[in-house]
Homo-oligomer: A and B are copies of this chain.
Amino acid sequence: MDARTLEQKVQWLIDIEAIKDLMSRYCHGIDKQDEQGFMNLWAPDATYELPRGTGSGIAGINELLHKVWREVPRCHHHITNPLITVEQDEASACTDVIYYRQTADGLLQLLSGTYAMRFRRSDGAWKIRHLTFSAFDTRSPAFTENNAR
């Protein structure tokens, strides 16, 4: 049924793992404000599409990243439910995300959404070529002022 050689199967598993790792790095990079870690994830001709703007190419993506950090000074993303397809040196994924965000005006929200991502392998490394986010709902639980212990 599965006509792939053992080597091909192992490479597919390694590719799936590499793409999951890339998605984790996306979250850690944007949330922990690791600019270099985040920028390393993208292919030179990538497009990054968010409701608050679109960045094309490394300079455009970097500009959008800084806009996000200005407008959303704190965020914490949790990617879930990956569906990944690998075709040679191209791959795509659909995933969900649940995320906390604090906007510049101090509003706190806990929201969910979906990412559509496309990837390309170049010189053996997978990079993001295209990432589009779709919000699931704009309503969030209401946060208390401060309930820390």
Contacts and interface: CB of A to CB of B under 8 A. Distances in A.
Interface of A: 1-2, 6-7, 9-10, 13-14, 16-17, 20-21, 23-25, 27-28, 31, 74, 76-84, 94-96, 98, 100, 102-103, 107-110, 112, 123-124, 136-149
Contacts of A9: 10, 14
B147 A24 contact: no
A83 B21 contact: yes
Given A78-B81, A147-B139, A98 B96 contact: no
A147 B13 contact: no
B6 A83 contact: no
5 contacts: A27-B81, A78-B96, A109-B147, A140-B141, A141-B142
A103 to B, nearest CB: 7
